[in-house]
Structure 1
Amino acid sequence: MNILFDCVLVLHLIGWAIVLGGTLTSLRAPRIAPGVLHGALTALVTGVVLVALKQGGAGHGDVSLAKMGVKLAITLVITGLVVVGTRSPEPVSRRLVGAIAGLTVVNVAIAVAW
């Protein structure tokens, strides 16, 4: 069970790396990079799976449901911003791309520091 948890955790981290890398490379010429939506959805789905696995006894330590709730809320906002940015006919602003990158960093910081 721990091997499954670790594999899903790696996929989760890869999803966040895609989101952060895609937005940071797009700050100069604001746009939503093609893989950012897939990265956000990957991070969202694998995050939910990680909490379920951890509730089932896999992984290390206990689950802080308050922490997971905050992280889920931030992830939903990030995913929503990415969806709006990819489906909007108007050009994407630097503020939107910066907000996605900033919220991603905040989500990672919460995971590490909380």
Structure 2
Amino acid sequence: MDIVHGIFLVLHLLGWAMVFGGALAGMKSSKLTDGAFHGILTALVTGIVLTGLLGSDANHVKVTVKLLVAVVVTVLVVLGRRRPEKVTTGYLGGIAGLVALNVALAILW
């Protein structure tokens, strides 16, 4: 079971890296990349699977806070894809900041 948990953890972190990299890469042209969308879906799904794998051992407050941040990032990415004219460097910076917050919560909490 440790191998399955490890595989999903790697996929989860790669998903967040895709969102972070997509936000940073898009800052030059104020455009949200498709990789950010696929990355957030990967991070969201694998995060839910990881929580299920942990079961009752999970810190439910931490998981709830991380899920709320992930949902906000998901909404921002989806809205950025639907209305690309609204995407600015500040918008992308907000996405990158929330991704950094979520990773910091995972490591430091």
Shift of 1:90: 2.2
Check the 8 A contact 1:24/1:101 in 2, yes or no.
yes
Which 4+ stretches in 1 moved above 3 angstroms?
none
Q: Which residue of 2 aligns with 1:32?
A: 32
Shift of 1:44: 0.3
Check the 8 A contact 2:27/2:88 in 1, yes or no.
no
Which residue identity is paired with 2:37? L
Matching of residue 71 in structure 1 with residue 91 in structure 2: no
Over the matched positions of the two proteins, sequence identity in percent amounts to 48
Root-mean-square deviation over aligned CA pairs:
1.2
For the residue of structure 1 that corresponds to 2:87, the secondary structure is: coil
CA distance in 2 between counterparts of 1:91 and 1:111 reads: 30
Check the 8 A contact 1:31/1:91 in 2, yes or no.
no
Flag structure 1 segments of 5+ consecutive residues without an equivalent.
57-61
For the residue of structure 1 that corresponds to 2:70, the secondary structure is: helix
CA distance in 1 between counterparts of 2:107 and 2:46 reads: 17
Q: Which residue of 2 aligns with 1:49?
A: 49
CA distance in 2 between counterparts of 1:91 and 1:7 reads: 36
Q: Which residue of 2 aligns with 1:19?
A: 19
TM-score, length-scaled by structure 1? 0.91
Q: Which residue of 1 aligns with 2:94?
A: 99
Shift of 1:25: 1.3
CA distance in 1 between counterparts of 2:103 and 2:59 reads: 15
Rate the CA distance shift 1:90–1:8 in 2: closer, same or farther, 3 A: same
Shift of 1:91: 4.3
Check the 8 A contact 2:9/2:50 in 1, yes or no.
yes
The Cα offsets for residues 22-70 of structure 1, whole Å up to 9 and x where unpaired, read as: 11111122110111100001000000000000117xxxxx411000000
